[in-house]
């Protein structure tokens, strides 16, 4: 079973958002290429600027700026970085088709895991609601993550 965790440190300022984006794509964590990094609705090398631009466009560049969550695989699951990259893409497509996402698979760590930064502001005109990740949402997300991972581990 994977560990799916919403990081409790809120991302409430420009500096917090910039630090989060830099941490996710840090070469010491993901390797020296962008192989284990992707963005949806943003470029991974300009994620901070892209997220900020979307928030300013919709007048939502204050308060919580992004959610940061991570998914960590069990040590004995037999999966590698490429598998985790595919799993991460499936997670982001399943739960956040209308939100900008930055993801980095941290392959240079003791435990294989991925970090996600999700812009709270949707990429669609007319949707004026910020994304909320509450306990119910995270429970559903954890179940779906386990289901996705079971596709790769046969159970």
3-148 folds as BirA Bifunctional Protein; domain 2 (3.30.930)
- pTM here is 0.92
- Indicate the burial class of 11 (C-beta count within 10 angstroms; 0-12, 13-18, 19 or more): buried
Give 101: exposed, middle or buried? Use CB within 10 Å, 0-12, 13-18, 19+.
buried
Bridge-based pairing state of the strands 66-72 and 37-40: unpaired
pLDDT in tens, 108-123: 877 899 999 999 888 8
Sequence ranges of the domains in the chain: 3-148
pLDDT digits (tens, 9 = 90+) for 6-33: 998 889 999 999 999 999 999 999 998 8
């Amino acid at each position: 079973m994977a560990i799916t965790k919403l990081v409790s440190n809120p991302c409430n300022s420009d500096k917090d958002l910039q630090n989060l984006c830099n941490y996710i794509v840090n070469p010491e964590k993901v390797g020296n290429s962008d192989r284990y990094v992707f963005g949806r609705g943003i470029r991974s090398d300009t994620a901070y600027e892209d997220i900020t631009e979307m928030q300013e466009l919709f007048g939502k560049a204050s308060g919580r700026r992004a959610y940061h969550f991570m998914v960590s695989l069990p040590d004995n699951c037999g999966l590698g970085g490429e598998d985790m990259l595919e799993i991460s893409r499936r997670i982001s497509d399943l739960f956040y088709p209308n939100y900008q996402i930055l993801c980095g698979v941290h392959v240079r760590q003791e435990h294989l895991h991925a970090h996600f930064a999700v812009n709270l502001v949707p990429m669609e005109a007319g949707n004026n609601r910020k994304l909320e990740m509450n306990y119910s949402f995270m429970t559903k997300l954890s179940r779906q993550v386990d289901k996705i991972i079971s596709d790769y581990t046969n159970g």
